[in-house]
A and B are shown apart, each in its own frame.
Chain A
């Protein structure tokens, strides 16, 4: 005999502590079990793609800061790469390395936030968040001393970067990198073997690799399912082809694997950064590009491995100073495709940590 209860709808969000912004998940529940999930987004839609069509290529860079506001550097980089591809601009070597350095620092900052908020979803009372903010803060300080902004950096420009690094950057960055392995070990000691985290996140929100590939998941979500794919290696951009690093992959595709992958990516980022700082060549950091850039008519699709996944910009130019079409392939949004399959059959707490393990930022989902 089974007991059936009335199905009822629980609205998680748009105002909810664990939706990372204004994300809404309509869960249809049968008792404790989720039988259907529907995501409702658009509360933060700013029609960025339309706005960008009315501005010049250079003017659009600040928009990209506001996409995934936790990793502005990566967004700048992806967009500028697309424009450079469209206009055929080559970036000097120093600029390429600076881009790598900033993007990897940004990855550490973003993953610190992602891991911390995942831990918060699991119910840790702010401790990992505060610990990780300590390091994130130092990274933001580095950004500030380089370009004057902490969050919306607007640093990577078409043809290079906006400023070369100041003299105090190097010692600060090296000091940070020196203490990072120790800090990461601390996070791991706090979270990784924690019995409750294991109980909560293992075998929860499982994403099979076939479904992950079919539903265009990317970044840690894809790698957590055990797919060896990283655009930094597959389609190296900036200076990644000269740097040595490994791709962490999970084995079971559950929340815990995605968490492990992010944890390991912190270490890999530190490794990349150490090499990049050593190899940083002298010379100009950028080439001069006209402000009202008129790329030849055509189209370009450039993508990078942003912290959240494959971030791509698809630009269509008609020869005017404005893009004819400005499309953002945003990893946060597309990683939500398999969400329904991942949460059906789970309970609300599991759905919440599954959402946390995907790591979305609503600025990028809604654009």
Chain B
């Protein structure tokens, strides 16, 4: 049975190693400061006891006033999981560091989050839109994205990149 690690305990461990990194810790998750994110992630991956070598998922959540980026981490041995979060407080221009350097698996998922949610991942090697085309107005998964700006209705007049 995969054990979900206690966020409080892990938060404490991270705090000991990297001071001021943990913003909030609950039994379910740990929230770390974006500036310390890469450091924390590297620690979680390389620590022999934690051994989070597998990044299961990356996603972003729009909390209306800020964005939360959620990382689901998985260790194969010992078999446990951790939910790591970070917050981008600037709702208009959210930016968090990219974790591609730590886990390659973040590459496509961060691109997806950027495309649909508009969270910029600083340091991503190839941060482009993935499902929508360059020039698409807005980021549709944001809560304030209700219709396409400029009075456009959904659907295309012509195919993208056609010229």
Contacts and interface: CB of A to CB of B under 8 A. Distances in A.
Interface of A: 41-42, 45, 47, 49-50, 211, 213-217, 227-229, 231, 234-236, 241, 299, 301, 303, 310, 312, 314, 316, 324-325, 327, 329, 333-334, 336-338, 366-367
B43 interface: no
A216 B132 contact: no
A227 to B, nearest CB: 7
Contacts of B53: 213-214
B89 interface: no
B131 A211 contact: no
A333 B108 CA distance: 8
- Across the A-B interface, give the 3 residue pairs with the lowest CB-CB distance, nearest first: A216-B105, A235-B2, A42-B131
A211 B104 contact: yes
B104 A236 contact: no
A212 to B, nearest CB: 9
Contacts of A217: 105
Contact of A337 (B28, B59, B70, B105): B105
A227 B76 contact: yes
Given A41-B130, A235-B2, A337-B107, A213 B70 contact: no
Interface string B67-89: 00010100010010101000000
Contacts of A336: 108
A214 B105 contact: yes
B131 A234 contact: no
B38 interface: no
B56 A366 contact: no
Contacts of A338: 104
B5 interface: no
Interface residues of B, number: 33
B72 A213 contact: no
B112 to A, nearest CB: 7
Contacts, number: 91
B141 interface: yes
Contact of B76 (A211, A213, A216): A213
Contact of A301 (B57, B62, B141): B57
Main SS at interface, chain A: mixed
A42 B56 CA distance: 22
Interface in B42-77: 53-57, 59, 61-62, 70, 72, 76
B94 interface: no
A216 B62 contact: no
B104 A337 contact: yes
A334 B133 contact: no
Contact of B59 (A235, A327, A366): A327
A298 to B, nearest CB: 8
B97 interface: no
A39 B133 CA distance: 13
B56 A236 contact: no
A367 B132 CA distance: 12
B108 A314 contact: no
Contact of B140 (A50, A241, A334): A50
A50 B104 contact: no
A314 B57 contact: yes
B56 A310 contact: yes
Given A215-B104, A216-B54, A216-B106, 16 more contacts: A41-B131, A42-B130, A42-B132, A50-B140, A213-B53, A213-B76, A214-B53, A214-B103, A216-B103, A216-B104, A234-B76, A235-B1, A299-B70, A327-B57, A337-B107, A338-B104
7 contacts: A42-B130, A47-B140, A50-B140, A213-B53, A216-B103, A234-B2, A336-B108
Given A49-B141, A213-B53, A312-B56, A366 B131 contact: yes
A260 B149 CA distance: 50
Contacts of B109: 216, 334
Contacts of A314: 57, 59, 70, 72
A66 to B, nearest CB: 15
Contacts of A214: 53, 103-105
Interface string B124-147: 000001111100000011000000
Contacts of B72: 301, 312, 314, 329
B122 to A, nearest CB: 20
Contacts of A334: 57, 105, 108-109
